[in-house]
Amino acid sequence: MINTTPDREAAGLARRLAAILYDTLVFTAVLLVATVPFVLLARGAPTSEVGKFIFQFYLLAVAFLFFGWFWVHGGQTLGMRTWHLRLVNGTGGAISWKQALLRFLGALLSWAALGVGYLWILIDRDGRAWHDRLSGTHLVVTPKTTGSTHF
């Protein structure tokens, strides 16, 4: 087991992929909703090259804001929370927006390289993907809680 901090283990590939699958389902719904105002303003799908570029940039910005907000505010997307994962900086604390941007761009690169950036965790001494290294972040397993009792 690889420790990224003294009390936390690095997230393995299977757990990461399970969280990604969960987040993909949630994010698909977000993209559908985010598309509505753009399509209404453009009166349909963009047809010009400039319009297509703007639309793609808009969707990329929505993706960054979606994932970045979760990463910066609590270190967990819904999928990460479900699979007991948390994104932390090098000292175990919250990441910055700059780190979130570097991680987001690095994750795009990891996918663009046919997933090699994700598979990298299988050989990395700290169990980190390319985007973890690029952004100075760690994806760690959080302890499972047994629920709390409220009186």
User: Tell me: the pLDDT tens digits for 35-69?
Assistant: 999 888 888 888 889 988 999 999 999 999 999 99
Measured distance CA(139)–CA(61) in Å, rounded: 23
How distant, in Å, are the alpha carbons of 43, 88, 100 from that of 69?
A: 30, 14, 8
What six digits make up the tokens of 43? Answer: 């009166």
Mean pLDDT of the chain: 90
8 Å CB contact between 23 and 14: no
Which residues neighbour 109 within 8 Å (Cβ) at sequence distance 6 or greater? 117, 130, 131, 134
Residue type, 114: L
Question: Quick one: pLDDT band at residue 7, thresholds 50, 70, 90?
Answer: low
pLDDT for residue 3 is more than 80: no
Query: pLDDT by residue (tens digit) across 75-111?
Result: 999 999 999 999 999 999 999 999 999 999 999 999 9
pTM confidence score: 0.87
Counting Cβ atoms within 10 Å, is residue 14 exposed (0-12), middle (13-18) or buried (19+)? exposed
